[in-house]
Structures are given as C-alpha cells and as structure tokens.
Amino acid sequence: MTTPDVGTRFAARAAELDAADPLRPLRDRFVLAGDVVAYFDGNSLGRPLRVTGEALAAFTAHDWGERLIRSWDEEVGASGATGGGWVDLPAALGDRLGALLLGAAPGQTLLGDSTSVWLYKLARAAVDAADPARDEIVLSDDDFPTDRYLLEGIAAETGRRLRWIPTDPAGGVSPEQVAAAVGPRTALVVLSHVAYRSGFLADAATITGLVHDAGALVCWDLCHSVGSVPVALDAWGADLAVGCTYKYLGGGPGSPAFAYVAARHHEALRQPVQGWFGRADQFAMAAGYVPAPGVRRFLSGTPPVLALVPVRAGLDVYAEAGIGAVRAKSEALTAFAVEIADEVLAPLGVELASPRDPARRGGHVTLRHPDAEAVVAECRRRGVVPDFRAPDGIRVGLAPLSTSFTEVAAGLSEVRSALVSTNCRYSDS
Ligand SMILES: *Cc1c(COP(=O)(O)O)cnc(C)c1O
C-alpha cells in the first residue's frame, strides 16, 4: 500500500481554509509556545490567552495589591483587571456570560463553584422541591462521570431512584428516548447538551419541552457546548444549567464554573449549601439563614475572585468573535477532521464514533480503534495531544478560536503515522 503523506496532501487545503477563516487572527491571541504540533485537547483544557498573564499581574498589582480589601465593594468597572466590585462579580460576569453565550437574560447566571458543586446544589434543590411522588431522577449512561456519581449520591440522600437512558456511544440521547423515560414519577432530568465522548449535540429545545410535558425539571450540563455551539437557555425554556469555563472559555485549570437558574424557579428552590453569600443582606451578619432574593441565593461562600480574572479575558475574546462565527468555524474544523479521517485513517481500521451530520455534532469528534490507547501515547510523544477515552476512543477536540486547519491536517497526519508504527509493532511481535 502506498503511504501518501497526509500532511502534504491536506496541507494545501488547510492553508486555503486558514486563509479564508475570518477568525484566523484571533488564534494569535493565545499562548502557542512549546513543542506541541497539534493541540486536540482544547475542549478539555483550553489554551491560555496571552492577555491572561498580564491581567493576572495587573490584578495582583492593582486590584489586590493597591486597592486591597476595598476592591470587594468598590464600584464595578473601576480600573484594573477585575474592575473592583468583587462582591458582585459572580453575578456580573454571570450576566455577561449569559448574554454572550447562553441566551440567558440577566439575573439568572452565576460564576463561582466547580461544575460538580453547582450540579449538586441545583439538582439537590430541584429534587427537594419536587412532589415526593416524583421519586425518579432521569439521566443517561453517557452523562459525564461526575454527573452520574453526584446523582447517585442525591438519590441515596433523598430516597429517590435513578432511571437510566441507555445510549449508543457514538451518538447521544434522542427526544424519543427522553419521552419514553419521563412521566409522573420524574422529578428531574440531567443531560449533557454536547456528549463528552461522541460530541453528539442533543435537541435541547425539544427535550426540554418533553420534560415539562411530564411535569418535571431539566438541568443541562453545558460543559462541552459553552463556547463551541450556540446555547439558548431562555428560548428552550430550560430550568437549570451548569457548565465549566476551563474548556472552551480559557479559564485555566480548575477555573470557576457557572450555574443558571431560570428566574421563575428562584423563589421555590432552596439549595443545600446555605452560606453567607447566599443570605439576604449578607453583611448584616444577622442570626438565621434567609435566602437572598433572586439568583444570589444559590451562592454559598466567598467567590474565587482571582480565578475569575482569566474567565473575563476569555469572555472578551468571545465578545469579539461572536458565537455564530465560532460555530461556523467549529463545524468546518470537525468536517475537515472527518474528511481526513475517512480518507486516510479509515483504511487503517479507524471508525468515526461521532455523528456524521455536522448539525448534530459539537466541537469534537471521536475516532475509534482497538489500539487507541497506544496510538494516543505515541501521538503525545510526537507533539500531538488528543485524548484517550476508554475503551477505544481517540478524542479530537478542536477549540475553534485557537485551532487552525493546518493544525488539524498536521495532527491527523501524525495520528496516521502513530497508527502505522503501532500496527507494525503489533504485527512484528
Ligand atoms: C468537564 C466536565 C465536568 C467537570 O466537572 P468539574 O467539577 O469541573 O470537575 C462535568 N461535566 C461535564 C459534561 C464535563 O465535560
């Protein structure tokens, strides 16, 4: 078999696509140093923006170093990296995120805890508020592990049971499956908008409607969709949502996650971690917990102000790009990856484990091969960084703002070489 050099073969196409890419200049805003030839994990830990280092230094020198404790209640928008107003930062940045990327009107989104902690707080609040006859929490076997574990815990704490929707690992949850799983016993449904393995993009508007028809609430996990696909929480009629900022949004390792609670639910929901930041008139330091009005009742303790500095830089670049252009580039990137995979990886036994229809796909694609684990290890030695997803997945995440088409062609060329050398080793032994 001839072995065409994929890098060369697709390099010309990649160069044309890069030249025509309106978002191409934004790639240079990211830190692109180091030995990485192709970064295929920007959907798991996004690259930092160059401005993030400067913003953190400015924050330390000014907002923190000079303004000191005064920054907590100084007017939002004063100079510096956060602009003061730290007490209001979770809600102020939440509103900005809501407007830019979530389709959420102000007063419904907060930044602060990790996705796991937010999910616990919101899911527990929703289950506690449900009629006791609604004794089921619906989830899918394709929900992210932390989601599954948290819901197991909540079911055990509250005497509810879990009802699992089985999924095709190359696909995701369909409206028909949800319709069959929900009913008068459903308290809450928790699903991912974009599946972490296959990249399947769920029909969130239709599914939300079906859950409501059954009289239950839905919580969307947006970790793999925020910053890669348009989200329209208010228009879907969503009840609750959570998502992280260290994937597409460039918040950095362990950066604060967000929570959305539709305004119509604020009064009725009581979240379980009732700390002072969620109390009405918190600085009165009065006796007894009284939930704050509005979405603030879902806060708990002192917000991670320092860790919100990079998130703000990430939102700034999304404000420039616009999610419509980001989604268009994301579809083009995954389509290019699928095209290369079909032509040069499929003959080596690689199968696509993601939807073929770009409209049903988020920002990553997963390729399946029995030697995936060895191939990913070999790729990493070659400066190509995909993710291994057990048992046989090579996940190729293409963060739209920081990934070029040239990078896709070069990286998949190395995946091919890694497959060839891995297969050779196997056939020699
Ligand atoms: C990354 C991810 C999480 C991570 O939760 P953490 O609390 O940040 O560890 C949760 N859900 C999904 C779907 C994810 O992709």
Rounded CA-CA distance 333/2 in Å is 27
Report pTM: 0.96
Give the confidence band of 84 by pLDDT, cuts at 50, 70, 90.
confident
In this model, does residue 43 exceed pLDDT 70? yes
Residues 307-315 have a mean pLDDT of: 96
The CA–CA distances, whole Å, from 29 to 48, 231, 250, 364 equal 9, 24, 12, 22
In angstroms, the Cα distances linking 163 to 141, 171, 241, 312 are 10, 19, 20, 38
At residue 425, the pLDDT reads 61
Residue 247 pLDDT exceeds 60: yes
Is a pLDDT exceeding 80 seen at residue 124? yes
- What 3-state DSSP class applies to 413? helix
Instruction: Record the tokens describing residue 402, joined without a space.
Output: 């920081």
With 0-12 CB in 10 A as exposed, 13-18 as middle and 19+ as buried, what is 185? middle
C-beta 228 within 6 A of ligand 1: no
Q: Check if 221 is active-site.
A: yes
Predicted pLDDT of residue 373: 97
Asked if residue 166 has pLDDT above 50, the reply is: yes
Cα 308 from Cα 306, distance rounded (Å)? 5
| Residue 224 CB–ligand 1 contact under 6 Å | yes
For residue 304, how far is its CA from the centre of ligand 1 (angstroms)? 18
Question: Of the listed 142, 143, 221, 239, which one is catalytic?
Answer: 221
Q: Is 144 a catalytic residue?
A: yes
Q: At what angle do helices 405-428 and 372-381 cross, to 10 degrees?
A: 120
Higher pLDDT residue, 73 or 114? 114
Q: CB of 428 within 8 A of CB of 359?
A: no
Whether pLDDT at 358 is above 90: yes
| Atom of ligand 1 minimally distant from the CA of 114 | 7
> Residue 214: how many CB atoms within 10 A of its CB?
18
Asked whether the beta carbons of 310 and 55 are under 8 A apart, the reply is: yes
CB atoms within 10 A of CB 51: 20
CA-based nearest residue to 39, from 419, 411, 415, 416: 411
How far away, in angstroms, is 213 Cα from ligand 1 center? 28
- Report, as an integer, the average pLDDT of 238-262: 98
Mean pLDDT throughout 307-313?
96
Mean pLDDT of 29-42: 95
Stretch 154-171: mean pLDDT: 96
- 213 burial (CB, 10 Å; 0-12 / 13-18 / 19+) is exposed
Mean pLDDT over 263-288 rounds to 97
pLDDT value at 5 more than 70: no
Residue 8's pLDDT band (cuts 50, 70, 90): confident
Contact 363/248 with Cβ under 8 angstroms?
yes
Mean per-residue pLDDT, 249-265: 98
| Helix, strand, coil percentages in the chain from 3-state DSSP, rounded to 5 | 45, 15, 40
More confident residue, 122 or 423: 122
Q: Please give the average per-residue pLDDT across 261-283, as a whole number.
A: 97
Supply the mean pLDDT for the chain.
95
Residue 75: per-residue pLDDT: 76
Q: Is the pLDDT of residue 380 over 60?
A: yes
pLDDT: is 83 or 62 the higher one? 62
Average pLDDT over residues 107-132: 98
Tell me whether residue 121 is one of the annotated catalytic residues. Answer: no
pLDDT at 212 over 80: yes
| Chain centroid to CA 116 | 12
- Is 192 touching ligand 1 by the criterion CB < 6 Å? yes
Which one of 120, 121, 122, 146 would you pick to mutate in the ligand 1 pocket, going by the greatest count of ligand atoms within 8 A of its CB? 146
**Could you give all domains of the chain from N- to C-terminal order, each with its CATH number?**
6-30+323-422 (3.90.1150.10), 53-319 (3.40.640.10)
**Which atom of ligand 1 lies nearest, measured to the CA of 115?**
7
| Residue whose CA lies nearest to ligand 1 atom number 15 | 223
Q: How many CB atoms lie within 10 A of CB 8?
A: 10
**For position 429, what pLDDT does the model report?**
42
Ligand 1 centroid from CA 146, angstroms: 7
What percent of the chain is predicted at pLDDT more than 90?
93
Supply the pLDDT for residue 4: 54
In sequence order, what E strands does 21-63 have? 38-39
Peptide bond preceding 391 in cis form (omega within 30 of 0): yes
